[in-house]
Structure 1
Amino acid sequence: MSAIGSKARRDRIVQLATTTGLTSVEELSQLFGVTASTIRRDLAKLTTDGRLARTYGGAMALSAHPEASLRQRTGEAYDAKRAIARWAAAQVQPGETLLLDAGSTVGALAHELRTAKDVTIATTGLTALQELADVETVHVECLGGTLRPLSQGFVGPLTEAALERLTFDRVFLGTDGVSPEHGICEADLRQTRLKELMARRADHVYVLAHAAKLGRRPFHAWATLPEGWTLVTDDTADPGILAELRARGVTTVLAESVGAL
């Protein structure tokens, strides 16, 4: 990155901490092309100003709600989400029973499934329910539970109890971030637990995440991304991260961008 002024650099550091989670001194030093001492002074100033919280070796955002709402996320990476959703919908066969997570990308999949025939779809997300509520060729089951306003998804013991009574041919999961080392990232531990339960109830597990989410660590709650699962992303994904995932036994699929269809 070309040299920028200290104020602009500090503003950018706050933005990075808010959107990607923890920021380290080493990473910031490399990104901005300045010394580690300069970054430490920046972090000290931002901490004093109440804009960041210092951690060992870096900083993190102070925002009480760094998680973007579903409404805010719906328009992000729109073409990539459509491409991922179209690929995922093409895997569904008549007569199957599906489980859909909450989230904007899975919501895009629900939209694609409006033309599905003879399928049963259970979901933890309000977006999927709204997309499918008036579709007569799809049987819809709402798992219910405690509603998280930001994600517009159901979580908690009632959701988990409903899952224990069902099995699925395929489950499609959303995520806030994907790390080869840690797995899939969520803002809430209840969501990570629920995703692992959802995966255990299905024969085939797909994680739908556009390229910008790969390598992101916005929060500190993680669910595993084990061998045998399939990550579906778009064709702008970082090849290095994809290679790491494949080395760990995760199948990766690159959905062709909608503009190229």
Structure 2
Amino acid sequence: MLSLERQRRLLQHVRTHGSGNVLDLAEELGVSASTVRRDLREMDERGLLTRVHGGASVLDTDVEPVLSSRSAERSEQKRRLGEAAAERVPDGATVLITGGTTTETMLPFLAGRERLTVLTNGLNIAYQLARYPEISVVVLGGVLRHDEMSLLGPIAEHVLAEFHVDLAFSSAFGVDPEHGISGANVTEAGTDRRMLQSADKLVVLADSSKFGRRGPVRSARVDQISCLVTDGDAPAPALQAFRAQGVEVVIR
């Protein structure tokens, strides 16, 4: 593999995932760890990324492109999921919307709701809701996870404790009818777990690509999920298993 092509793929990986580990990158590209380290050093010197211990991460200026690239993935499926999820929000509700590009697709469909309060730990969610003055928005505090533009930690949890949440809406890294929903980041998943437990009902938005994979940390058990919103390509056996456990499944 030519150096230019290798570095292009390295940069694409780091921008997509927010960071990259040397050993994982070496395995993915089929090259040695020393080659990856040399490439990362060169790319850091050129201002393309930031070297960190054991790998690399995106530059601060890369945060929006990372989110934008994820928004573009399966955009039509996500839009349909967002519309279906928003239909479940009644006037006067207090809802929690976790940060993410899938949950963000709900927001245009919430316009015009009366007496709606939205709590969120996602700066992208709060930013998009700023265009709807009729919606009350509460931003949960916390430590910023730069690549996801989400706020994490006990500050968010303390603020959330002051509210009664009718519905929580969450995306997921992985969806499994035995394991529930899981996240890829340990710190983020811990905060998500405590947030999702605060709501009377939990609605999960997950396109078909999220089925059959598990992250390292479980965000919610299956018995905590009230409704699963997905698309028509989701595997039928998994959907049947969710229904058998009392989860309402909505397909869009």
TM-score, normalized by the shorter chain, greater than 0.5: yes
TM-score by length of 1: 0.69
* Contact kept? 1:111, 1:128, Cα under 8 Å: no
Amino acid at match of 1:202: A
Provide the C-alpha distance between the structure 2 equivalents of 1:254 and 1:140, rounded to a whole number of angstroms.
Answer: 29
| Aligned alpha-carbon RMSD (Å) | 3.0
Q: Secondary structure at the match of 1:135?
A: coil
Provide the C-alpha distance between the structure 2 equivalents of 1:45 and 1:104, rounded to a whole number of angstroms.
Answer: 26
Provide the C-alpha distance between the structure 2 equivalents of 1:155 and 1:176, rounded to a whole number of angstroms.
Answer: 17
Provide the C-alpha distance between the structure 1 equivalents of 2:245 and 2:208, rounded to a whole number of angstroms.
Answer: 18
| Equivalent residue for 1:131, pick from 125, 128, 131 | 128
In the alignment, what sits opposite 2:61? none
In the alignment, what sits opposite 2:180? 183
Provide the C-alpha distance between the structure 2 equivalents of 1:204 and 1:239, rounded to a whole number of angstroms.
Answer: 24
- Percent of residue pairs bearing the same amino acid type: 32
Provide the C-alpha distance between the structure 1 equivalents of 2:193 and 2:213, rounded to a whole number of angstroms.
Answer: 19
1:119–1:179 CA distance, 2 compared to 1 (3 A): same
Q: How does 1:71-86 map to 2 (within 5 A)?
A: 71-86=68-83
| Equivalent residue for 1:210, pick from 207, 227, 231 | 207
| Equivalent residue for 2:152, pick from 152, 155, 166 | 155
Deviation at residue 90 of structure 1 after TM alignment: 0.8
In the alignment, what sits opposite 2:219? 223
The answer to which of 68-77 and 131-140 deviates more is: 68-77
Deviation at residue 199 of structure 1 after TM alignment: 2.1
1:112–1:75 CA distance, 2 compared to 1 (3 A): same
Deviation at residue 111 of structure 1 after TM alignment: 2.6
Amino acid at match of 2:206: A
Deviation at residue 226 of structure 1 after TM alignment: 2.5
Provide the C-alpha distance between the structure 2 equivalents of 1:209 and 1:100, rounded to a whole number of angstroms.
Answer: 14
Provide the C-alpha distance between the structure 1 equivalents of 2:203 and 2:153, rounded to a whole number of angstroms.
Answer: 22
* Contact kept? 1:70, 1:104, Cα under 8 Å: yes
Deviation at residue 228 of structure 1 after TM alignment: 4.9
Unaligned runs of 5+ in 2: 1-8, 18-26, 36-53, 58-64
1:49–1:233 CA distance, 2 compared to 1 (3 A): same
Amino acid at match of 1:224: A
Alignment: residue pair count: 206
